[in-house]
Amino acid sequence: MTGVSKGQAIRLEGVSKRWGETLTLDAIDLEIPAGSFTAILGPSGCGKSTTLRIIAGLEAVSAGRVFVGDRDVTQQGPGQRGLSMVFQSYALFPHLTVAENIVFGLKVARLPRRERLKRLAEVAELLELAPFLNRKPAALSGGQQQRVALGRAVISQRPVCLMDEPLSNLDARLRDEMRREIRRLQQALGFTMVYVTHDQTEAITMADQVVLMNKGRIEQVASPRDLYLRPATCFVAGFIGTPPMNLLNGAAFGSRFGPAAEGVRIGFRPEALRQDPMGWIDASVIGSEFLGSDTLVELRCAGEGLLAKLPGNAGVAPGQTLRFSVQPQDIHVFDLRTNTRLEDASFALPLTKVTR
């Protein structure tokens, strides 16, 4: 596609959103680099859609400022911010044909007819929409409607594209296909993408940068890799990964830490547990699920639940007692009082020592 637009950075400064008494967004600061693919991830009601709608200008901020590029757009309408958007429901105009839907924005901008048709042809080719241009949206399948919505978003060549859970109405197979297609489109056209989703697979596979939100606050902004390897808070650790990280009360291992164990949580991923006759984790089996390549074992240790992912068909029986060890680099320690990650490796060390 010609005339590739350079992406623009987005910056939120102390953005809050209040609906009457409820605070949906609590003084959010966020940098989204130009040309990056940023996913905003979080459970429902965490404020991720509100954040997107505030960037779009569909929602006014209660406090704070929004920048697109170097411009302060806080007071500007959605049409002046230089962004396009794909809605969860696609929001295609039902009375217009596919072609009319796609060029709607160009027509509003009074682009000459020849240019409109030229760009339409390019977009139709890019998204394989050429056979459907004269149909109404109702005559298309969900996946095709999704492509039309994408076409309408990219044809205007705006520097920023926002997407609000665009794949949630598609079946699993189509979702995988569209995920790759959206990523390819973003890389080919070079715009800045802000992508809201509640599906961590989508966020982790597509994004350069993931913003994980919870209860109107940002928990962590990091690459998918860092999010998995070095979760910044207890919430992140418990949200990312299927199944998520085991988080145990520090006091469960009290005797090993002494007083330092108060108010901390010890985390390790189910896949980090290794069966080891010398191991320091002593757990009894509650049940197991055979997943094919590995087995998920539900355990009980020091009064708390624990999950372990063991390779192959581990063949464990309920009631059996197993011993596990975890490598020191796989242990995460979180301070509950400050809601932060403790980087002091020595703190985790006593755990790895074999006590007999």
Partner 1 sequence: MLRTRGWIEAWLLLVPGFVFLIAFTHVPALVTIWNSFFTTPRGRRPARWAGLENYETLLSDPTFWKVLKNNALYAAGTIPLSIGIALVMALWVNRQLAGRGLVRMAYFTPTVLPMIAVANIWMFFYTPGFGLIDQIGAALGLGQTNILGSADTALWGVMVVTIWKEAGFFMIFYLAALQTIPPSLVEAARIEGAGGWTIFRRITLPLLMPTTLFVSINAVVNSFRMVDHIFILTGGGPDNASSLLLFYIYEVAFRFWDTAYGATLTVVLLAFLMILAIGQFVLFDRRVHYR
Q: In whole angstroms, how close is the CB of 94 to partner 1 at the nearest point?
A: 6
Q: In whole angstroms, how close is the CB of 39 to partner 1 at the nearest point?
A: 20
Q: Using the rule CB under 8 A, which residue among 8, 144, 146, 156 binds partner 1? A: 156
Query: Cα separation of 205 and 232, whole Å?
Result: 20
Q: Give yes or no for a contact between 317 and 295, defined as CB atoms under 8 angstroms apart.
A: no
138 touches partner 1 by CB under 8 A: yes
What is the CA 108 to chain-centroid distance, rounded? 33
Q: In whole angstroms, how close is the CB of 107 to partner 1 at the nearest point?
A: 8
Q: Are strands 71-72 and 246-249 parallel, antiparallel or unpaired?
A: unpaired
Place of tokens 């050429």: 130
Binding span for partner 1 by CB under 8 A among 5-13, 104-112, 171-179, 197-205: 104-112
For partner 1, the closer CB: 100 or 122: 100
78 touches partner 1 by CB under 8 A: yes
Q: Give yes or no for a contact between 249 and 301, defined as CB atoms under 8 angstroms apart.
A: no
105 touches partner 1 by CB under 8 A: yes
Paired strand residues for 227: none
Query: Cα separation of 130 and 153, whole Å?
Result: 17
Determine the angle formed by the axes of helices 172-189 and 142-155, rounding to 10 degrees: 10
Query: Cα separation of 103 and 247, whole Å?
Result: 51
Query: Cα separation of 4 and 156, whole Å?
Result: 10
Q: Is the peptide bond before 137 cis (omega within 30 degrees of 0)?
A: no
Taking the CA atoms of residue 53, residue 54, residue 58 and residue 61 in that order, the dihedral angle to the nearest 10 degrees is: 140
Residues 26-65 within binding reach of partner 1 (CB under 8 A): 56, 58
Residues 108-137 within binding reach of partner 1 (CB under 8 A): 108-109, 136
For partner 1, the closer CB: 136 or 198: 136
For partner 1, the closer CB: 23 or 58: 58
104 touches partner 1 by CB under 8 A: yes
For partner 1, the closer CB: 79 or 131: 79
Q: In whole angstroms, how close is the CB of 335 to partner 1 at the nearest point?
A: 42
77 touches partner 1 by CB under 8 A: yes
User: Contact residues for partner 1 (CB under 8 A)?
Assistant: 56, 58, 77-80, 83-85, 87-89, 91, 93-95, 104-105, 108-109, 136, 138, 152, 156
